[in-house]
Structure 1
Amino acid sequence: MSLVKNRETASKPARKEKSPFREWVDSIVFAVVAATLIRWLFMEAFTIPTPSMEKSLLVGDFLFVSKLHYGTRTPKTPLQVPLTHQKIWGTEIPSYLDWIQLPQYRLPGFSSVKQGDVVVFNYPPEDQYPTDLRTNYIKRCIGIPGDVVEVRDRQVYVNNQVFANPPRSETQYFLKTGSVISAKVFKRYDITDYEQATETYGDTIPANDASGYYIHTTPETAELLKQQDFVQGLETITDPKGYHDPMIYPSSSLFNWNKDNYGPITVPKEGVTIPLDQKNIALYGTVIQKYEGNDKVELTENSVKIDGKPVTSYTFQQNYYFMMGDNRHNSADSRFWGFVPEDHIVGKAVFIWMSIDPNPESVLKKIRWNRLFRIIE
């Protein structure tokens, strides 16, 4: 028995051992492939760079965003360096080639986007990049397809019903004071978004009485500030009804809208047909031209041509959403650039796994321990 066994063993070629370098390379390749698949299929990490969602989300919060809730998108730009977005880390070198652009589909998800969801999406106006590589934005969904959205004196309405303000949403105020306020004082009241006033803001503050600060804070903190000796007055900054802000979407003289008095505007819904009159062209012309996959769209104030043919009505090919930041006076959102197409939706923000204060009082307070593993609502 032993002789036969030895012959069998001798007939098999010896297995070549991997070198340490080869094992190291294999481990890296496996890790990159696994991380890429997890990032694409299941969950992706993001960080909050701006205060547009305060106080729900703070600058320095690190989040996990679920791709499973709304369904994972298939890749549109396959020629891309793994685990990158627009550029190779630490350089200005593009991390992708747009030579191949694939049709994009969405795998089945747990749910659809709902009113009140905190959503990550690709910034629609950024058309210098492919859809799936546009800058990631995070906002709260205010209107879903078919909803009528309106803002009346800072209060949001959806389908003529009050849309409840997020618990810690912020508003801009003018804080009148006769003295300089230190950063520590603002820190004490959890105010991170402020600037000293050097001139008046519209008609809200008299021209000879502009000594103070523009602050963004919650109504509860505003009431607390009114009781402090160093505060001589606290006024809400509001754009009046009828004032036309040229920065507001759509940039048309047909609509005297601003960030505090906006709409009503209907969110486009797949399958719905609209007449292309002057107002609808102003409201939805950009949608038809940029996000619907139409070729050669020509727009004027009174007409639309697709492939050279005049059209008097249009049926939307996909769903759209209306997004707003919780820091209503410091958020570049749908009021400024329009609707979010469904194919731009990345995922749902689910929880905060780390939070780092960019301006801590001390090194020991660098990590905001009370925000770790907090569910996002």
Structure 2
Amino acid sequence: MANTFSLILVCVTLVTGIVYALEKLVWAKKRAAKVAEVEAQTTGLDDQTKAKITHQPWWIENSVSIFPVIAFVLVLRSFIYEPFQIPSGSMMPTLLIGDFIVVEKFSYGLKDPVWRNQLVETGKPERGDVAVFKFPPQPNIDYIKRVIGLPGDTVRYTQDKKLCIKPSGEKQCTPVPLTNYTESEFIQNNIPLIRLDETMGEHQHQVLVNPLRQDNVAAYQPRAGVREWIVPQGHYFMMGDNRDNSADSRYWGFVPEANLVGKAVGIWVSFEFDRSDDSFLPSWIPTGIRLNRIGGIE
């Protein structure tokens, strides 16, 4: 499925690029030749006449001006880095609503910006990465979750909210360590969420759990009530760090490798949107900035 914004950006870049090339290689030379021809036929060429001959139509002038900028944005956004905004709390405490993040587009392969066909393979997701991907049921929507299961892995999520992963080719399921059980500042239905440190390979990050909330195992996919998943080849199992408040692979299945957008690597700005119920400000206007949030993502 084509990305509408990327398609528009590619089309604008292509059109302005053609005009830019024709201007530099053909039209500018023709105007210069015309000036030389007129000067050879007259004793002199006043500035007004010269300006009239060398005048660029508005559409050429605008195309030449914006093409380098548009081309730079296209290359940067498609192949290097792209900004995203965090719209929900499913990745708390790692990412908060109002965080604006930078996604490294080349981490999981270079893809064409319209149809997302892979052009060059540059790497694969690692267990514990925070990844942006196209939501499988609705590919026009971007999701962000943590990579839990790699192709061939067996992932278990126990009733006491602990992960156990059996990597492809191994016989034993290895529990994912959870340490530093502390009460967090995050509240759900007047219940403080519990913050824990989770270690997954070389990644150490924090997760939140609601000690009084049970998983909706009846909604698990592909089999209701079954807490174990075998990740197919070419797919990944994703979960949010806010374990009891995340719609993730437990509920809608695996993420195909083709849906991967990139790896979230940093927060470049973070806004607060908290306000009282009687506030007159529109909900999209920030009420503060969280400078302490700026930095890398664990």
TM-score (norm 2): 0.66
| CA apart distance, 1:33 | 3.2
Partner residue, 1:324: 239
Q: Which amino acid letter does the alignment assign opposite residue 291 of structure 2?
A: W
CA contact (8 A) 1:154 1:238 kept: no
| CA apart distance, 1:151 | 0.9
Instruction: Determine which of 165, 172, 176 is the counterpart of 1:163.
Output: 176
Report SS of the residue matched to 1:349: strand
**Taking structure 1 as reference, are residues 321 and 165 closer, same or farther at Cα in structure 2, changes over 3 Å only?**
farther
| CA apart distance, 1:245 | 3.0
Instruction: Determine which of 5, 12, 16 is the counterpart of 2:54.
Output: 16
Does 1:239 pair with 2:214?
yes
Instruction: Determine which of 340, 348, 368 is the counterpart of 2:255.
Output: 340
Instruction: Determine which of 277, 290, 293 is the counterpart of 1:368.
Output: 290
**Taking structure 1 as reference, are residues 236 and 16 closer, same or farther at Cα in structure 2, changes over 3 Å only?**
same
Does 1:248 pair with 2:220?
yes
| CA apart distance, 1:23 | 3.4
Partner residue, 1:200: none
Percent of paired sites with the same residue: 34
Q: Which runs of 5+ in 1 are unaligned?
A: 1-6, 78-103, 174-188, 196-212, 221-234, 270-318
Partner residue, 2:232: 268
CA contact (8 A) 2:85 2:101 kept: yes
| CA apart distance, 1:63 | 0.6
Partner residue, 2:272: 357
Query: Over aligned residue pairs, what C-alpha RMSD do you find?
Result: 3.5
| CA apart distance, 1:108 | 2.9
Q: Which amino acid letter does the alignment assign opposite residue 188 of structure 2?
A: Y
**Taking structure 1 as reference, are residues 48 and 165 closer, same or farther at Cα in structure 2, changes over 3 Å only?**
farther
| CA apart distance, 1:30 | 3.8
Q: Which amino acid letter does the alignment assign opposite residue 117 of structure 1?
A: D
Report SS of the residue matched to 1:356: strand
TM-score (norm 1): 0.53
Q: How many residues align?
A: 229
| CA apart distance, 1:9 | 8.9
Does 1:64 pair with 2:71?
no
Which whole-Å deviations, capped at 9, do the CAs of 1:315-341 have from their partners, x for residues lacking one?
Answer: xxxx00000000000000000011000
- Greater share of helix: 2
Instruction: Determine which of 45, 51, 56 is the counterpart of 2:83.
Output: 45
Partner residue, 2:123: 111
Q: Which runs of 5+ in 2 are unaligned?
A: 1-35, 167-172, 198-209, 277-284
| CA apart distance, 1:352 | 0.6
- Greater share of strand: 2
Instruction: Determine which of 135, 142, 147 is the counterpart of 1:136.
Output: 142
Report SS of the residue matched to 2:152: coil
**Taking structure 1 as reference, are residues 371 and 268 closer, same or farther at Cα in structure 2, changes over 3 Å only?**
same
**Taking structure 1 as reference, are residues 219 and 266 closer, same or farther at Cα in structure 2, changes over 3 Å only?**
closer
**Taking structure 1 as reference, are residues 355 and 364 closer, same or farther at Cα in structure 2, changes over 3 Å only?**
closer
Partner residue, 1:198: none
